[in-house]
Amino acid sequence: MTLRALFRFLRGNKLTALGALVVLALFLLSAFASFFSPFDPEKIDVLARLAPPGTDGHVLGTDSLGRDVLSRLIHGSKVSLKVGFVAVGLSTLTGLLLGALAGYHGGLVDGIVMRFCDLMLCFPSMFLILAVIAILEPSIWNVMVVIGLTSWMGVARLARAEIMSLKNRDFVLAARALGASSARVIFVHLLPNAMAPVLVTATLGVAGAILTESSLSFLGLGVQPPTPTWGAMLTEGKDYLSRAWWLSFYPGLAILVTVLSYNILGEGLREALNPHARGELG
């Protein structure tokens, strides 16, 4: 599918285009958080604590320590997107490597990899993450690594299926006949042609990783204070629901919009990269 065809698809699919615009806006917001933030997200002002939205320049109000909610939301997006991209990158890389090895070699290698994959799928992912995080020291790097290493199984199974469908094609047989090594066949000829469905899965995985990080932060096992995160802001807000609704509403809305946008974009990419849709797109 060409870039021009993709743009034509986005023009014809307003919902996917909206999801892509929101994702792009979130990326720019997190990349230039210091520029967009009206206040220091960690600055405490006890005289302005629990100020409602619109008070003294605090567009979304302040929290129990007088910190600006909008600034903390903007800087919290950095943590959420960093965790999402790094965790999904790690899980995608792990899944691609294991799935490619299993699909290409088959036999004993395929059996070992897939049984290990089945074993990992037997454990509820959230409980597995909670157990590992409880053992390790809670930090952003531990969160990213744990989420990445406990969510590769879907990518591995998808990559395996794609590699198995491609490894007997003429271009792969020609590469083997020319003396190409297994590593060259996998990394040069097979994986690039198996990336389309993996890209869709990775896009949807970012939303899942962001939701998981927010859940861990909500439980106090994610990124630790004073670093602002959406989950931690929700935890603080639950103690003030009756008199400071904005402390929970805006972080929850940020999580909802972000996860929904990535899911919409992922579903749009799935449709755009579908062979039948691609034919319709020209």
pLDDT in tens, 249-278: 999 999 999 999 999 988 888 887 765 544
- CA 282/CA 276 separation, integer angstroms: 10
- Across 114-118, 162-166, 196-200, least confident range: 196-200
The reply to whether 143 falls in a domain is yes
The reply to whether 100 falls in a domain is yes
| Share above pLDDT 90 across residues of the chain, in percent, rounded to a whole number | 18
The reply to whether 260 falls in a domain is yes
Domain count, the chain: 1
- Are the C-beta atoms of residues 199 and 215 closer than 8 Å to each other? no
Q: Report helix angle 69-105 to 246-272, nearest 10.
A: 30
The reply to whether 194 falls in a domain is yes
The reply to whether 91 falls in a domain is yes
- CA 278/CA 256 separation, integer angstroms: 30
Tokens encoding 128:
């597995």
Helix (H, G, I), strand (E, B) or coil at 55: strand
In this prediction, residue 200 carries a pLDDT of 85
The burial of 128, by beta-carbon neighbours within 10 Å (0-12 exposed, 13-18 middle, 19 or more buried), is given as: middle
The reply to whether 123 falls in a domain is yes
Mean pLDDT value across the chain: 84
Q: Is the pLDDT of residue 282 over 60?
A: no
Query: Between these two residues, 153 and 196, which has the higher pLDDT value?
Result: 153
| Share above pLDDT 70 across residues of the chain, in percent, rounded to a whole number | 94
pLDDT in tens, 222-232: 777 778 888 88
Q: Is the pLDDT of residue 175 over 90?
A: no
In this prediction, residue 1 carries a pLDDT of 54
- The parent domain of residue 107 ranges over 3-41+56-281
CATH number of residue 31's parent domain: 1.10.3720.10
Mean pLDDT throughout 70-84? 89
pTM score: 0.84
Highest mean pLDDT: which range of 37-41, 95-99, 121-125:
95-99
pLDDT in tens, 133-156: 778 777 788 888 888 888 889 899
Amino acid code (one letter) for 9? F
In this prediction, residue 281 carries a pLDDT of 43
Mean pLDDT throughout 96-104? 91
In this prediction, residue 216 carries a pLDDT of 84
> Residue 275 pairs with which residues in a beta bridge?
none
The reply to whether 132 falls in a domain is yes
The reply to whether 36 falls in a domain is yes
Distances (CA, A) of 280 to 5, 10, 214, 231, 275: 10, 13, 39, 42, 9
